[in-house]
Amino acid sequence: MEAYWEPVWLTLKLAAVTTLILLVAGTPLAWWLAKSRNWWRDLIGSLVALPLVLPPTVLGFYLLLLLGPAGPIGRLTQGLGWGTLAFTFPGLVVGSVLYSLPFVVQPIRNAFEALGERPLEVAATLRASPVQRFFDVALPLARSGFLTGAVLGFAHTVGEFGVVLMIGGNIPGETKVLSVAIYDHVEALEWGQAHWLAGGMLLFSFVVIFAMYRMEKRWR
């Protein structure tokens, strides 16, 4: 029974870690994308949006090469004494951060853009420093963007499959996440077990999206 629930906890852990990293690293990125007038803003913006359209196999393939012993990231992690990251939980985190990046950055960026210059200018006339303007004005006003980004990033990571299948190695407790466990049960014709996990997943996804719609309205 413990082994049966293991993929669920692992998936929640992966989604939580990924969302946290994306919120921390994605916020300054979203801010820059929203505010910069630099010509290469669209270049970076396109790169961030790429995982929306790329097949997961493309990400999986390049990650295998990058994380492998001959790849640049593989060399770095080996140099640091961590070994290679394929088939490890940190490896999945790297993959998930890339894979879910646009789902977190885009809503936050939209929220920042929707703010306009006005509230920040008003705050400036009240002698708020740039840091204060960001934390006390922009962040609270953009909260619905953060909510959407966090929920989408979390849910999208829970729903990840192709990348994990390619770089995970299906290790119980380490890389065997929910979607892979379901696939495994189906392939092995263990449909009873597949039903419980898949049905739970369906319910979970619906509740998350429904709750997000309800909360977004209230937070505006």
Partner 1 sequence: MHGKTHFIATAALALWLSVAPTADAAELRVAVAANFTAAMQTLAERFQQLSGHRLRVSYGSTGKLYAQILQGAPFDVFLAADQRRPRLLQQQGLASGRFTYATGRLVLWSARQAGATSPGEHTLTEARFHKLALANPKTAPYGAAAVSVMRKLGVERRLRDKRVTGESVAQAYQFVASGNADLGFVALAQVALDDSGSYWLIPQALYPPIHQDAVVLKRGDAKPAATEFLAYLRSRAARDVIARYGYGTD
Residues that bind partner 1 (CB under 8 A): 64-65, 67-70, 74, 83-84, 86-87, 165, 167, 169-171, 184, 186-189
CB of 186 to partner 1, least distance (A): 7
For residue 169, the minimal CB distance to partner 1 (Å) is 3
Which is closer to partner 1, CB of 41 or CB of 75? 75
| Contact predicate 163/56, CB 8 Å | yes
What is the smallest separation between the CB atom of 165 and partner 1, expressed in angstroms? 7
Q: What CA–CA distance (Å, rounded) separates 168 from 183?
A: 13
Least spacing, CB of residue 87 vs partner 1, in Å:
5
Report the residue number, 119 or 169, with the smaller CB distance to partner 1. 169
Instruction: Indicate the residue among 84 and 110 with the shorter CB distance to partner 1.
Output: 84
Which of residues 82 and 213 has its CB atom nearest to partner 1 in the complex? 82
CB of 62 to partner 1, least distance (A): 11
Residue that has been written with the tokens 């995970």 in this structure: 168
User: In whole angstroms, how close is the CB of 89 to partner 1 at the nearest point?
Assistant: 13
Pick 24 or 189: Cβ nearer partner 1? 189
Give min distance, CB of 185 to partner 1, in A.
9
Based on CB atoms, which residue is closest to partner 1, 63 or 97? 63
Contacts of 187-193 with C-beta under 8 Å, sequence gap 24+, read 193/4
Per-residue DSSP letters for 111-168?
A: HHHHH-SHHHHHHHHTT--HHHIIIIIIHHHTHHHHHHHHHHHHHHHHT--HHHHHHS
How many C-beta neighbours within 10 Å does residue 40 have? 9
User: Do 115 and 81 meet the contact criterion of CB atoms below 8 Å apart?
Assistant: no
| 49 CB-near residues (< 8 Å, 6+ apart) | 102, 106
7 to 130, 184, 186, 197, 219: CA distances (angstroms): 44, 12, 15, 9, 33
Closer by beta carbon to partner 1, 105 or else 197:
197
